[in-house]
Each structure stands twice: as C-alpha cells, then as structure tokens.
Amino acid sequence: MSDKPTAPPHPVQIQIELDPATANGVFVNMAMVNHTDTEFTLDLVYVQPQQPRATVRARAITTPKHMKRLLLAIQDNVRRYEERFGAIDLGDAPHFPGGVVN
C-alpha cells in the first residue's frame, strides 16, 4: 500500500441544454406538492381568475434527497432576494393544508 494521500476527485462539470420553448418558461400561481415514501411530486399550476379549472403547466418527480436540496436552494434564494429587495409580503393569501401553495 502507498502512504501517499489520494487526490480528491475532480468536480464533474455538467453541460445543461435549454431548448427555446423551455427557456421561455410558463407562468404559474399555484403549486401542489405530494409524496410517497420514495418520491416527491411537484405540480406547478396556473389558475385563471374566476375560473373553476386550473392547468398543470409542469410536473417534477424527484427523490426525497433532491427535494430537500431544492427546498434549501429555494430558501437560500428567497433569503438573498429579501436581503436585496425587502421582505416578500404574502398579504392575506390563504395557506392550504396538504401541500398546496397559492
């Protein structure tokens, strides 16, 4: 065996492609989060005012570990946003139990 310490692995650089349709994004004003013991499902929804129907614009299904990383990344970004622009006022927006955010 060698007494030399092993070099740490080089970080992997990932090239992310973003097609034009995805780059345009979609507007959402509600999210629904559900989970099982092995995965989380995040539905991003657009609700039109005065309409009884809503449209899921995007769905992400991920592992609990990745969901926790996403949560931490969102919390960090909201913190930095509020440091720069001030507190985000939620007003009287209702909170929905069961994972619905409006």
Residue 7 included in any domain: no
| Whole-number pLDDT of residue 8 | 73
Domain limits for position 31 = 26-87
Residue 39 included in any domain: yes
Whole-prediction pTM value? 0.74
Structure tokens at 24: 């345009």
Structure tokens at 79: 């913190």
H helix or E strand, kind and range, residue 73: helix 64-85
Q: What percent of the chain clears pLDDT 70, i.e. is strictly above it?
A: 85
- Residues 16-67: pLDDT tens digits? 999 999 999 999 999 999 999 999 999 999 999 888 899 999 999 999 999 9
pLDDT of 4 strictly over 90: no
Tell me how many domains the chain contains. Answer: 1
pLDDT of 97 strictly over 60: no
